[in-house]
Structure 1
Amino acid sequence: MKASIVRVLLLGACLFAGAVSPASAADPRGVGANSGTVGIVSGGVEGTYVRIAADLAAVLDDGDALRVLPMLGKGSVQNLKDIVLLKGIDIGIVQSDVLAYAKRERLLPNLDRRVKYITKLYNEEMHILAAPDVTRIEDLAGRKVNFDVQGSGTHMTASLVFDMLGIKVEPQDNDQSLALEKLRRGEIAAMAYVAGKPTRLFRDLKAGDGLHFLSIPMSAALLDTYLPSRLTSADYEGLIKPGEQVDTVAVGAVMAVYGWERDLERHRKVARFVDAFFGKFDEFLKPPRHPKWKEVNLAADLPGWTRFEPAEQWLHREASGRTAMREPQPATLVSSPVPRGETAR
């Protein structure tokens, strides 16, 4: 309930910023503030997405020139819809498999043209937290397993993974905080949660609580779509003993963006965001920023997606600049003779 109220308030603020009000039209300061505002829809209060969005705001905010407004979201499927349909949202953090899912389900028309990506962010691990009496994932057959709310990335991925494993469960649609309480009370057998490790939701759990993670057995079907990964005691020292690991799968997180036409102000605004984000990326690798930033490769390609043109151009300029620095310079550009065997710096 609290998260829903916060989301409504933040969404309202962003929608207000997305359109110039009559007062703003009469006040140049309001016009300037709106022209530099970028709305980013993230995830729930306990997830990694919202912390990534908060980092973006902390590092990139630059007065009226650029202001990042993070918003709580309801998962990858809904975030994708929000990017396409809501006026105040320019960017959203989603799972990499959501675009293929949306196309398959025909959720929105012309997605290839309307949704692009700025960069692949990091990998998110699938966590399956189970009750004490569940020892293997196969034991969940016929039992209640929380898949998160409808439209969330976890709900989408959990349904696909359990289907690929051939394990039929009774899916539940509770938000993650409520699901954890139900799991503690024994009302459900397990809960699935796709989030970058370590997720805050499970941070304070201890082995004495009786809850534990289940390993996901690898299969050819799973590895066609997802990456193999693992959870260790370094991620959850209260739940996993030193030297032990829990096998799982991971899916990529993506910074998705609406594919604005080049001559529109919204396109120019997001292009300024891209320049600031890429140009200051080293700042995201320092404390107190989320450790998941260290997994990001800005230039990584994302199969099935098209990169936002300003991001593609920035990466091309950066690559060209590095190539030029490595290439020998023409003698006519050297202001003073360089002794043989040495190079100009």
Structure 2
Amino acid sequence: MNALRAIRIGLVLLLAGALHPLTPAAAQPRTDRPMSRNEAAAKQKLNAWTIGLAGGLLEGAPIRFATEIARVVDESDALHVLPVVTRGPTQNVEALLYLRGIDAAIINADALEQFRTLVPNIDQRISYILNLFPSELHIFVRPDIKSLADLSGKKVNFNTPGTSAAYSGPLIFDRLKLEVEKIFIPHPAALEQMRRGEGDISAVVFITSKPVDAFLRGRWEPGFKFLPVDIGEADFLNHYLPSTLTSKDYPQLIAEGQDVPTISVPTILAVYNWPPGSDRYARLNRLVDHLFSRIDRFHAPGFHPAWRDVNLAAQVPGLRRFAPAQEWIDRNPATRPQRMPAGASQR
């Protein structure tokens, strides 16, 4: 019995030593360990053209775009984009400003607004490469809700914290001067409660690229609908763009030939303004060339359908384009006639 116990103790100590080595060499930080010439060269080669791209939450559309960008622009040792999962739109801006190794981020245009007072020179530190896609506002309501005014004081779900809906949704409702009881639970749970008439949830707010699978595949009783949002109802022009939800987008919920006016939040590929001539600037310059010259590859099956509406020349109000991106567009004027996103306009 004592021998068996001794064996068990020995195994525990052996495993502990393997999992938590205490030797001085093992305790050294990775960067301080001596390297052979070949290993040092491999490390240099691996890091030379790597770019960190802040994407967002796993359940959001931006991280999918980040992953697809990485897939298309990757070229062995010439360029390697690393998509990074973050806590959402706000942290993507913070990551771009402060997180080591992050050179680019996918952000909502209105997420910059709260930083303008905190970081007065943010427009000099962040620029954009591409206006990716509009994230349409979907206000989906129960049959008893007929207008935005009917939502006053009611429970409205804005999805989980960190999502675009959780960030931009309350901002939009504030600009509409619409006071509601805001809740933040996963949309699938909120939609199921709405369907069953449980939890007193009157509406769910999605802010994402249309069409949304939940409304395409779900079966809804008559009366469930999207509420129209008139861009004239609030001062949206500095932050958002007009858009529509159509019967082609949601044939089960919108009658054929009818449209539901709404607004969209521009979602952009932003970069940090590294100084010209720097190593990080060179990496972003190469990213621009790989991304723009291969834009047609995003139209292949398997990529997000919103790529088909991306216009390389589309501008972002209130923000400067990264110089190499503008120079690429100037050298390739044929990019200008591309189709604009629905409801958007080149400014």
- State TM-score, norm by structure 2: 0.77
Secondary structure in structure 2 of the residue aligned to 1:32: helix
Q: Secondary structure at the match of 2:248?
A: coil
8 Å CA contact retained: 1:48, 1:199: no
Q: What is the deviation of 1:215? A: 1.8
Corresponding residue number in structure 1 for 2:332: 318
Equivalent residue runs for 1:1-345 within 5 Å: 21=31, 26-104=39-117, 106=118, 108-150=119-161, 152-184=163-195, 186-187=198-199, 188-208=201-221, 211-219=224-232, 221-225=234-238, 226-319=240-333
**CA deviations over 1:228-261 (Å, ceiling 9, x no partner):** 2111232223433433332211121111111112
Task: Read off the aligned partner of 2:318 and give its amino acid letter.
Answer: G
Q: Which range moves more in the overlay, 176-185 or 38-47? A: 176-185
> Does the CA-based 8 Å contact 1:23-1:30 persist in structure 2?
no
Instruction: Please tell me the residue identity of whatever aligns with 1:162.
Output: F
What SS does structure 2 have at the residue aligned with 1:274? helix
**CA–CA separation in structure 1 for the residues paired with 2:46 and 2:103:** 16
Choose 1 or 2 for highest CA Rg. 2
Q: For residues 184 and 85 of structure 1, do their structure 2 counterparts lie closer, same or farther at Cα, with a shift above 3 Å needed? A: farther
* Residue segments in structure 1 that go unaligned for 5+ positions in a row: 1-19, 323-345
Please tell me the root mean square deviation across aligned C-alpha atoms, in Å. 2.9
Report if the CA contact (8 A) 1:113-1:259 is conserved.
Answer: yes
- 8 Å contact 1:228–1:250 — kept in the other structure? yes
Q: Counterpart amino acid of 2:273?
A: G
CA distance in 2, matches of 1:150, 1:35: 35
Change (3 A) 1:243 1:319: closer
- Is the contact made by 1:98 and 1:153 (CA closer than 8 Å) also made in structure 2? no
> So what's the TM-score if we normalise by structure 1?
0.77
Further displaced range: 246-255 or 143-152: 143-152
| Mapped contact 1:205–1:239 kept (Cα < 8 A) | no
Q: 1: distance between equivalents of 2:154 and 2:81?
A: 43
Q: Which runs of structure 1 show a deviation greater than 6 angstroms over 4 or more consecutive aligned residues?
A: none
CA contact (8 A) 1:146 1:191 kept: yes
Unaligned segments of structure 2, at least 5 residues: 1-29, 337-347
- Alignment partners' CA distance in 2, 1:45 and 1:129: 23
**Identical positions, percent:** 37
Aligned length: 302
Deviation at 1:206, TM superposition (A): 1.9
Q: Distance in 2 between matches of 1:230 and 1:321?
A: 25
